[in-house]
């Protein structure tokens, strides 16, 4: 199963190891999910995970990003013309659309609602039902 993870999922997973975002990340690290990304997403992941306000040890956070790059699928997405409240979110949607992947986010309201944009809880339900 393919997915694009919004950066907020990685942040939440690392901040709260027992929450649904952490369960999604566990599935990634166990090879149950293939992450799709582009260079803009990786750059944002690296930038956000290095921010002092989160207090992450960069070496550990970098291992997660490196794993995604090593095991995921790099996509060159088709640009879309939709206007986003936060244009920085558009890259996640473009990659998900181009890859035919789910976009897992904690900020569903920032994206056009559709079958591709889902919460961590919804994604975990889909994973469970596909087993």
Residue boundaries of the structural domains of the chain: 2-129
Which fold would CATH assign to domain 2-129?
Rossmann fold (3.40.50)
> Which pLDDT score is estimated for 130?
85
DSSP 2: E
Element (H, E) at 49: helix 39-49
Convert the pLDDT of each residue in 73-84 to its tens digit. 999 999 988 888
- CA 118-46-22 angle, 5° bins: 40
Convert the pLDDT of each residue in 49-90 to its tens digit. 999 999 999 999 999 999 999 999 999 999 988 888 888 999
User: Residue 20 in contact with residue 121, Cβ under 8 Å?
Assistant: yes
Convert the pLDDT of each residue in 80-118 to its tens digit. 888 888 889 999 999 999 999 999 999 988 888 776 899
DSSP 131: -
């Amino acid at each position: 199963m393919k997915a694009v993870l919004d950066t907020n999922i990685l942040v939440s997973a690392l901040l709260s190891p027992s929450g649904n975002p952490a369960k999604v990340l566990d599935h990634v690290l166990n090879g149950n999910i293939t992450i799709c990304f582009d260079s803009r997403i990786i750059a944002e992941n690296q930038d956000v995970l290095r921010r002092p306000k989160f207090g992450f040890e960069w070496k550990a956070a970098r291992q997660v990003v490196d794993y995604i790059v090593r095991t995921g699928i790099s996509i060159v997405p088709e640009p879309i013309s939709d206007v986003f409240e936060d244009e920085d979110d558009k890259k996640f949607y473009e990659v998900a659309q181009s890859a035919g992947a789910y976009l897992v986010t904690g900020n569903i309201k920032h994206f056009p609602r559709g079958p591709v944009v889902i919460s961590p809880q919804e994604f975990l339900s889909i994973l469970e039902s596909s087993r």
